Structure 1
Amino acid sequence: MPRVTIADIARAAEVSTATVSNALNGTGRLADTTRARVHATAAALGYGAAAPVPRVLGLAVTTYGPLPWNFADVPYFAQAIGAATAAAHARGYALTALPAAPAAALWRTIPVAGVLILDSPAGDPVVPVLRARGLPLAFDGRPSDPGPREAWVDNDHRAATRDVLDHLAAQGARRIALMAGPGDEHYTRECLAAHREWCADHGVAPRVIPFAPADTDGRTLDAVLRDPGRPDAIYGIYDPCGRRAHAAATRIGLRLPGDLLLVCASEDPAYATTEPPLSTVSLLPRLTCAAAVSLLIDLIEHPDLTPEPVIVPARLDIRASSSPLRLTEG
């Protein structure tokens, strides 16, 4: 590996090369915080040494950009972190998962050989910081503008969404709503696009119920489900959607699946034990993240490699909440 230069430090610390020189030499008139940041950046990058590539990978979840949130509580991300860690260990690497909305300085200085990014939205503020360091990147979820030395793994979200809508229509649903947003990551955009396309193909108006992250009890759904023209089926594309729609239906006296069919995308095994058991779509993060880590390490160890994207099919697990035909046949 080439030695770290003053220009590398300046780029990572977002200061001029003159500022770096003054900070490292103890000269010039600099704020103490600036001088400390330069020293920390230089140490993290291994300035003054041959700076071997650390056998450590970073993991970032940047779905909501600058908003802090505890993604580790979401079953999808919990499984993703576990799978990524196991895949990294299998290749002799450690993995560090950092909290959402980290300070930019952290990403400028953390000593990693490459970074796995989950659910990166358009205009992701973390990605340019990492690219400026020349780090290889792998994305779980297709990025909006993949660059060189970058790879991605994803599901076919349009196919998965159409499969769910086809399933609900086959069970008799005629007013199917998609519960989605406000995220601007590829996953949400693809699901919304597939819903619009499916509705156009079937000559019906799209119905979208905005997902309200703070509405943990699903109260915003009460008015939607009380309306005379209410949806007769909902596909919620995030883990909490099933619980919230189920709670709202129970509050206003709708029966699942008699009055409302319900499917949600989730890795939470508890959905199989609710009353009635809820149908779910699994995006199989254990497979996608393991594949993404493998691609990332390949990029680290073979800088000239240009890996092909990997598509992992999603899985629809049909349960009683979306299958009244099964109930009547039984």
Structure 2
Amino acid sequence: MVNIRQVAAAAGVSIATVSNALKGTGRVSDGTRDRVRRVAHDLGYGQASRHVLGLAVTTFGDRSWNFAGVDYFARSISTATAAAHARGYALTVLPASLGTASWRSLPVDGVLLIDSPQDDPVVRTLRGRGLPIAFDGRPEEVRPGEAWVDNDHAAASRSVLDQLAAQGARRVALVAGRGRDHYNRAWIANYRAWCASRSQAELLVSASRPDAAEALLGLAEPPDAIYTTYDWGRELLALARRRGLRVPGDLMLACVSEDPRYAATDPPVTTLSLLPGTSVALAVDALVDLVECVPVAPQPPVPTRLAVRESTLRISSLINS
């Protein structure tokens, strides 16, 4: 397969110029752009490529589950599809239950992995094939021919926890997941660091279900605020109602979610968006560049967006009551 370095040498330009000319970006004259594209075509650049990318969520191994039904992953799939199409590639969304044997023969040019866990067998298989890999979510290790994009989890943690503390919370609990991906591990580590900085006792539950928070509310000194790193806001609201707790008066609630319907719950729930429309698009662009042998620069952390709503506005709620 002809690579971008060969095109650059034949056209007498830099690799960056070839990349910009083929993508229609950068400051490249029309004459140079046409010449580069003609040379690329004559050399057969990209013609051996299938022009197909794969996308998979491997955080829970090959356990069968419908990640497309989760707002974050649904937004990621939509974004990745549009980004791939913009670069002339098709995108295949792969089921979570795809076995190792299938990964060995999957007809794709490169793969985008979302929330890859530690010691991911899929990563080992793809590396064995020499396929380019891009990660949405920081992987355990990055090798040549790979790239990753991730959020600034430390800043995201502070934005939520500081909001709760500013509204009077003194016992903030975290309901995290049991995944071995960097996302889950980073949130737990940042929560513990925040608690240590404020001399607050840790109130941490790692669980696969939101009703694990029930045990927190049964403590002699229960939390006065709960934050969950997953889309469990509705379940926590229901739990508060069963306990006869007022939100936000007795218990403040916040969660990570891309679902805009939290603005209409009773009360509206504060959510943190990981902005997959930004991170996944960057990851797909990096993956295509890897496939096309274009140098990929490290990406800066992607910011998050906190939508503060009534569920974490205790002080203003008390003032207005």
Aligned match of 1:317: 307
| Among candidates 242, 245, 254, match of residue 254 of structure 1 | 245
> Are 1:307 and 2:297 matched, yes or no?
yes
Give TM-score, length-normalised by structure 1.
0.81
> % of aligned pairs identical?
54
> Are 1:113 and 2:109 matched, yes or no?
yes
CA shift in 2, pair 1:111/1:310, >3 Å:
farther
Alpha-carbon distance in structure 2 between the residues aligned to 1:204 and 1:324? 19
Letter in 2 for 1:62: T
The SS at the match of 1:145 is coil
Please list the CA deviations of residues 249-306 of structure 1 after superposition, one character each: whole Å capped at 9, or x if unmatched. 1111001000000110010112111000000000001111011001111111125x24
Shifted more, 72-81 versus 244-253: the winner is: 244-253
Alpha-carbon distance in structure 1 between the residues aligned to 2:97 and 2:141? 21
Matches within 5 A, 1:256-271: 256-271=247-262
Letter in 2 for 1:90: A
1:62–1:101 contact (8 Å) kept in structure 2: no
The SS at the match of 1:311 is coil
> Are 1:122 and 2:118 matched, yes or no?
yes
Aligned-residue CA RMSD (Å): 1.6
Letter in 2 for 1:54: R
Aligned match of 1:8: none
Matches within 5 A, 1:83-162: 83-162=79-158
1:140–1:292 contact (8 Å) kept in structure 2: yes
Shift of 1:329: 4.3
Shifted more, 313-322 versus 226-235: the winner is: 226-235
Aligned length: 277
1:291–1:310 contact (8 Å) kept in structure 2: no
User: Which residues of structure 2 form unaligned runs of 5+?
Assistant: 3-45
> Are 1:175 and 2:171 matched, yes or no?
yes
Matches within 5 A, 1:222-237: 222-237=214-229
1:137–1:150 contact (8 Å) kept in structure 2: yes
The SS at the match of 2:281 is helix
Aligned match of 1:274: 265
| Among candidates 201, 213, 220, match of residue 205 of structure 1 | 201
Shift of 1:51: 8.6
Please list the CA deviations of residues 65-105 of structure 1 after superposition, one character each: whole Å capped at 9, or x if unmatched. 13221100000000000000000001110000001031112
Give TM-score, length-normalised by structure 2.
0.83
Shift of 1:181: 2.1
Shift of 1:310: 3.5
